[in-house]
Structure 1
Amino acid sequence: MRYKKLGNTDLNISVMTVGTWAIGADGWGDVDLKDSIDAIHTALDNGINFIDTAPIYGFGNSEEVVGKAIQGYKDKVMIATKCGIVWGEEKVSRKYAGYDSIIKECDMSLKRLGVDVIDLYQIHWPDVTTPIEESMRALNKLKEVGKIRYIGVSNFSAEQIEEAQQYGEVNSLQPPYCMVNRTAEDLMKWCKQRGIGTLTYGSLGAGILTGAFRELPHFEADDRRLKFYDYFVEPKFSKIMELLKTLDAIAADHGKPTAQVALNWSTQNPIVDTALCGIRNPREAKENCDAMDWMLSEDEIKTIDAAYAKIFG
């Protein structure tokens, strides 16, 4: 496993992070609790030391699964979770990052996770209904009393980060990023120049960069892969299939799975501090961790980027 400092923090994290949206069992197909816990254990046993979760993933279920999984590993793992998405009895979610709500969310996350402090606490999405000063005041208070160590944001623009920084230090940004979704590159470079760490999500393109989907799949109407991403609609799906031919060839040269090529492409990028990777069973976890045992050459990265430019324009 390779490690990097997250921005200007003192968190020395693995360049791959366990992403836990799918294990929340909310719109990602069937998820097995034992497999999820075993997958996290496999990741931690193979050098990953950072887990990212959120209350909204499975309406608290993901944090609870993580809490169960890290028993006995607490001295080996750092936790990132989020605030700013709330729900009621009907489980209808909304963005809300008010002061009292954030304080309450943090306490609930600490309880579900079974930890005393959250290493990185992130506003999940911008909340246009609440002044960012109020949200940052809550985060600063949590930091002051020792419930969180660092403050991050997810899905924020540069302008939104700058506004937040007027009221406290923002240590990280979590944007979507992979070789077929590069819209955040300029923003990530901007963050890098300012010592703001980057945690990228969607590193395997909701699974499409693993090579598991060679024909356009049918997902249920509420499946997150269809609702949240545009990879499984034409013409993008066919373009990604064309790019996969390049990844397949490089993978074959190394005798490695295609997913490992995609993971190395992300984790070797200097603007990426750590790439989130969802895992749902021990086999996936081990295969993803094994990607960090080798690296792409500069020529291979250039080949991938040239193929991307030709296909996507």
Structure 2
Amino acid sequence: MTNTTHSTQPTQPSRLTAENPTTVLLGGDLPVRRLGYGTMRLADGPGDPTGPEARIWTAPADRDAAIALLRTAVELGVQLIDTADAYALGAGEELIADALHPYRDDLMIATKVGVVRPSPTEWVPLGHPAYLRQQTELSLRRLRTDRIDLLQLHRIDPAYPVAEQLGALKQLQEEGKVRHIGLSEVTVEQIREAEETAPVASVQNLYNLATRGHEDVVTYTAGQGIAFLPFFPVAMGAHAAPGGPLDTIAHELGATAAQTALAWLLHRSPTVLPIPGTTSAAHLAENVGALEVALDAEQFARIEAATQG
């Protein structure tokens, strides 16, 4: 980020291998530690913000706790904080600025534009180029920065040509207001189409052990050196049941099932950068600890065999 402050780097060793490095080179020039933090759950209802029907509509009731959690994430070595202008109608971005500004040199804030929230239950894509540029200007103000390191198109809007939507983000990039451009919930074909207009540094799709619909996107992004940010990365379904493959391998590794699920993602592709979200400091530390959990080839194959299909 443009505005920075000093801090010490984490000194924890990592057990990831050369084939599965500890960092992703975002956009070819930004090394980012491969365990980020998604802030979607740092919002209040109506509704349970931790459940599948979360509204993500208002700022957290316990603002001090949310600020402390964001600061703890950075202290634990998290280098990418993910948010969106649609989270709590911009209050999510304001919360990050209150907690972390001025931003340290090695910290990247990723945000998203391209979805409107007319009500607590509606998430509506809106890709009008002027709207995307306006929302980015508002994000810059709320985040208190002159340049966003990673700006992601929250959803591709079928009402506007992809070239026009990416063109708006590229214009912002050329103006120096955006460093890198990302996409969210896209297919390989959509990535290729977007790349005709602007370089794509990252893709953020729903992907985890229980939801494997984007296997081709994970493979494509790995081949192109594009960071893949799976959201809801810890969902495990029945695979984590006692005696199941994930549970068994977690015991072999001396890890938790959640850490093992994250370790599977890290092993799946060298450009995967999970962004698990939580409102619990204990779960945050557990998630970050997944960087110290390394699957061997046989363990990875066992999980693959048990979860595909």
Q: Same fold (TM over 0.5)?
A: yes
Distance in 1 separating the partners of 2:115 and 2:99: 24
Distance in 1 separating the partners of 2:38 and 2:243: 23
- How many residues were matched structurally? 279
Q: Secondary structure of the equivalent of 2:152? A: strand
Contact 2:255 2:293 in 1 (8 A): no
Question: CA distance change for structure 1 residues 28 and 69 in 2, over 3 Å: closer, same or farther?
Answer: farther
Deviation at 1:277?
Answer: 0.7
Deviation at 1:244?
Answer: 7.0
Deviation at 1:308?
Answer: 1.9
The residue that corresponds to 2:9 in the other structure is none
Question: CA distance change for structure 1 residues 188 and 7 in 2, over 3 Å: closer, same or farther?
Answer: farther
- Asked if residue 167 in structure 1 is aligned to residue 187 in structure 2, the reply is no
**CA RMSD, Structure 1 to Structure 2 (Å):** 2.3
Deviation at 1:151?
Answer: 0.8
The structure showing larger relative contact order (alpha-carbon pairs under 8 Å, at least 6 residues apart) is 1
**TM-score for the superposition, normalised by structure 1:** 0.81
Question: CA distance change for structure 1 residues 122 and 284 in 2, over 3 Å: closer, same or farther?
Answer: same
Q: Secondary structure of the equivalent of 2:220? A: helix
The residue that corresponds to 1:220 in the other structure is none
The residue that corresponds to 2:113 in the other structure is 83
Gaps in structure 1 of 5+ consecutive residues: 210-236
Give matches, 1:233-272, under 5 Å.
239-240=238-239, 242=241, 245-272=244-271
| CA displacement 1:43-69 (0-9 Å, x = unmatched) | 211111011111112221221221222
Contact 2:240 2:247 in 1 (8 A): no
- Asked if residue 285 in structure 1 is aligned to residue 305 in structure 2, the reply is no
What is the one-letter code of the residue matched to 2:39?
T
Give matches, 1:17-56, under 5 Å.
17-26=36-45, 27-29=47-49, 32-56=62-86
Runs of 4+ with >6 A deviation:
none
Q: Secondary structure of the equivalent of 1:290? A: helix
Percent of residue pairs identical: 31
Question: CA distance change for structure 1 residues 92 and 81 in 2, over 3 Å: closer, same or farther?
Answer: same
Distance in 1 separating the partners of 2:243 and 2:157: 37
Distance in 2 separating the partners of 1:253 and 1:33: 39
Specify which of 151, 155, 175 is matched with residue 185 of structure 2.
155
The residue that corresponds to 2:220 in the other structure is 190
Out of 86-95 and 40-49, give the one that drifted further. Answer: 86-95
Distance in 2 separating the partners of 1:47 and 1:268: 20
Question: CA distance change for structure 1 residues 180 and 143 in 2, over 3 Å: closer, same or farther?
Answer: same
**TM-score for the superposition, normalised by structure 2:** 0.82
Question: CA distance change for structure 1 residues 287 and 72 in 2, over 3 Å: closer, same or farther?
Answer: farther
Contact 1:121 1:151 in 2 (8 A): yes
Q: Secondary structure of the equivalent of 2:181? A: strand
Question: CA distance change for structure 1 residues 6 and 176 in 2, over 3 Å: closer, same or farther?
Answer: farther
Question: CA distance change for structure 1 residues 90 and 80 in 2, over 3 Å: closer, same or farther?
Answer: closer
Distance in 2 separating the partners of 1:193 and 1:19: 25
| CA displacement 1:146-198 (0-9 Å, x = unmatched) | 11101111111122222222222222211111111111111221222233321
Deviation at 1:278?
Answer: 0.4
Distance in 1 separating the partners of 2:120 and 2:305: 48
| CA displacement 1:15-60 (0-9 Å, x = unmatched) | 1110111113344437532232222222211111011111112221
- Asked if residue 275 in structure 1 is aligned to residue 295 in structure 2, the reply is no
Q: Secondary structure of the equivalent of 2:112? A: strand
Contact 1:35 1:282 in 2 (8 A): no
Q: Secondary structure of the equivalent of 2:228? A: strand
Question: CA distance change for structure 1 residues 244 and 291 in 2, over 3 Å: closer, same or farther?
Answer: farther
Contact 2:80 2:107 in 1 (8 A): yes
Specify which of 124, 127, 138 is matched with residue 94 of structure 1.
124
Question: CA distance change for structure 1 residues 72 and 285 in 2, over 3 Å: closer, same or farther?
Answer: farther
Contact 2:26 2:32 in 1 (8 A): no
Deviation at 1:89?
Answer: 7.7
- Asked if residue 9 in structure 1 is aligned to residue 28 in structure 2, the reply is yes
The residue that corresponds to 2:5 in the other structure is none
Deviation at 1:142?
Answer: 0.7
Deviation at 1:72?
Answer: 4.5
